[in-house]
Amino acid sequence: MNGRRTKWGIVLIIVALLLVVPGPSVKATGPVAPKYIIIMFADGVGPGAFELGRLYHKHVLKKGFIITDTIMAAGNLGLMTTTSAESLGTDSAAAATAMFSGFKTNIGMIGMTPDKQPRKTVGEAAKEKGYRIGLLSTDAVWDATPGAFAAHAESRRDWASIAAQLLAIEPDVLLGGGRGAFLPKAAGGDRTDGRDLLAEFRARKYTVVTTAEELRRAPVGRLVGLFDNAGLSLDLDRDPEEPSFSEMVAAGLRVLSASPQPFIAMFENENTDATGHDNDFPSLMAAFEEFERGVRQAYAFYLKHPGETLLIVTSDHDTGTPSLTYAQRSQAHTASADRVYPKAEHLAVARIARGSVDKASQMLGARPTAADIQRVMAQIYPGLEMHERYQQSILRGEMINPALARRSRQGAFGLMLGQYTFVYWGTTGHSSMPVPVAALGVGAHRFRGYMDNTQFARILFDLLGGR
Ligand SMILES: [Zn+2]
């Protein structure tokens, strides 16, 4: 037998197969609209935090991290700039307005330009095209990201109006925190106009649930689940009455996939941002474990409907700019033995945490003493010690460096954890890092490259227009 001829035969068969098997579903005739669009949104996550999530899953949890290993690796990867209209910095309101309306706006504004002109949102465009809507957040559902997906307000704090607009657009799924904005004061809520938006949802044939147990038993019809008057708890401090992010994603996908109609889902994990502000590495990793579980469910849905689904994993801005360091431990900068060499065992220190930095900060009380700090350290971080300098910053209520302003306790806990994990933070605020956007499936190729965050909305409008 002629080996060379056999080899060429195999090559010809492979080439023939490649010509027959359809590639990505891009037709020559105009844009192809995905029937299902799932946006998995990790608030406040820049490239550094995503990479820490990957390293932690691989080296500490000994698990794959589907976000980078599959969605980013096999999908299309882009980077988005995050500047707002008035600043080179941003908040979630201005960033989400850019991503869901295609216009830059000022910090704090929702779904409108700085001149207070409301701009059409991706949520509204989807509704016009017959898509059902799924909105979910671990924070209040009226907060910046879900707010800018479907509503308009001069201020993200205008929760009464945003909540009413979320009722008006009638999402099929609305899950998260922020119940107070939907209930009148008389019913234990915060509304002063007397409206009971949950009663109005019920009148429109919604099931309304308020606990994790009720969520698990909810039928597959239109669903509102609001599990706290404010935002939901951080993952290391979870109230068992509240569902986790991935439990909400499971319920959301169950409802949305029960009907053959198209849908667009925006599922936000806000805990990634909150833990960034607190420079709380263990809680950020716990938030990533939850986000990863949610993304796995979305990916499983994608695998069932690969020719009809667009799956996106992205963020709005970076918070805190966390990173492992390779640096000198002291000023004796000649000895390589004096260097920090971060390894898995250092990241694994995160597993010691029995609660969040936020909880530890609150447990200190109003005027903590050194004994209070020792007590909280023993309860939340057993076996770890806080450097005298960081203790002093807490006792005096002084910031350790200007980039950690207003959160002296969080900054001190963050630096304490950094001494063991070698994860250090640039700030307790947002940074100007670009954020990744990873896309898989129908229309995913459009998200490749370096882009402005307004481009994100324009691509979604284009894809929705294809229907
Ligand atoms: Zn933030």
Sign of CA dihedral 16, 21, 24, 28: positive
Q: Is the pLDDT of residue 26 over 50?
A: no
Q: Give the CA count within 13 Å in the CB-facing half-sphere of 60.
A: 22
3 state SS for 4-56? HHHHHHHHHHHHHHHHHCCCCCCCCCCCCCCCEEEEEEECCCCHHHHHHHHHH
Q: Is the pLDDT of residue 1 over 90?
A: no
* pLDDT-derived band at 407, boundaries 50, 70, 90: confident
The predicted model gives 175-180 an average pLDDT of 98
Is 289 in the same domain as 367? no
Cα(465) to centroid(ligand 1), Å? 32
Is 420 in the same domain as 436? no
CB 209 within 8 A of CB 223: yes
Is 308 in the same domain as 440? yes
The predicted model gives 3-8 an average pLDDT of 52
Angle at 308 between CA 303 and CA 314, to 5 degrees: 70
Cα(35) to centroid(ligand 1), Å? 32
Structural domains in the chain (count): 2
Cα(269) to centroid(ligand 1), Å? 12
Is 93 in the same domain as 241? yes
Question: What does the DSSP assignment read for 118-148?
Answer: B---HHHHHHHTT-EEEEEEEEETTSHHHHH
pTM: 0.92
Give 267's strand partners. Answer: 40, 136
Give domain status of residue 19, yes or no. Answer: no
Q: Is the pLDDT of residue 134 over 80?
A: yes
Cα(44) to centroid(ligand 1), Å? 6
Is 230 in the same domain as 261? yes
* pLDDT-derived band at 339, boundaries 50, 70, 90: confident
Is 348 in the same domain as 441? no
Cα(146) to centroid(ligand 1), Å? 14
- What is the pLDDT, as a whole number, of residue 10? 54
Cα(223) to centroid(ligand 1), Å? 28
Give domain status of residue 168, yes or no. Answer: yes
Cα(143) to centroid(ligand 1), Å? 11
Q: How far is Cα 87 from Cα 81, in angstroms, rounded to an integer? A: 12
Cα(158) to centroid(ligand 1), Å? 17
The predicted model gives 45-51 an average pLDDT of 98
The predicted model gives 10-34 an average pLDDT of 53
* pLDDT-derived band at 399, boundaries 50, 70, 90: confident
Cα(94) to centroid(ligand 1), Å? 11
Burial class (CB in 10 A: 0-12, 13-18, 19+), 292: buried
Mean pLDDT across the chain, nearest whole number? 92
Cα(449) to centroid(ligand 1), Å? 25
Cα(30) to centroid(ligand 1), Å? 38
What are the residues whose beta carbons fall under 8 Å from the beta carbon of 305, sequence distance 6 or more?
35, 36
Residue 242: how many other CB atoms lie within 10 Å: 20
Is 391 in the same domain as 277? no
The CA-atom distances, in angstroms, between 303 and each of 109, 116, 241, 297 are: 37, 42, 32, 10
165: nearest Cα among 52, 242, 404, 156: 156
- What is the pLDDT, as a whole number, of residue 327? 83
Q: How far is Cα 58 from Cα 52, in angstroms, rounded to an integer? A: 10
Tell me which residue range forms the domain holding 420.
340-424
Is 450 in the same domain as 380? no
The predicted model gives 61-69 an average pLDDT of 97
Cα(176) to centroid(ligand 1), Å? 17
- What is the pLDDT, as a whole number, of residue 7? 55
Is 374 in the same domain as 452? no
Q: Is the pLDDT of residue 144 over 90?
A: yes
The CA-atom distances, in angstroms, between 285 and each of 219, 291, 318, 403, 433 are: 32, 10, 15, 22, 20
Is 208 in the same domain as 234? yes
Cα(320) to centroid(ligand 1), Å? 9
Query: Picking from 24-28, 276-280, 292-296, which range would have the lowest pLDDT averaged per residue?
Result: 24-28
Cα(51) to centroid(ligand 1), Å? 19
Cα(189) to centroid(ligand 1), Å? 25
Give domain status of residue 171, yes or no. Answer: yes
Cα(243) to centroid(ligand 1), Å? 22
Q: How far is Cα 33 from Cα 35, in angstroms, rounded to an integer? A: 6
Cα(93) to centroid(ligand 1), Å? 10
What percentage of residues in the chain have a pLDDT greater than 70?
A: 91
What are the residues whose beta carbons fall under 8 Å from the beta carbon of 27, sequence distance 6 or more?
none
Model confidence over 229-266: pLDDT tens digits?
Answer: 999 999 999 998 999 999 999 999 999 999 999 999 99
What are the residues whose beta carbons fall under 8 Å from the beta carbon of 345, sequence distance 6 or more?
none
Q: Is the pLDDT of residue 16 over 60?
A: no
Strands 173-177 and 223-226: parallel
Is 236 in the same domain as 383? no
Give domain status of residue 105, yes or no. Answer: yes
Alpha helices, H only, 80-209: 92-101, 122-128, 144-150, 159-168, 197-203
Cα(273) to centroid(ligand 1), Å? 5
Cα(271) to centroid(ligand 1), Å? 10
Give me the count of residues in the chain. Answer: 467
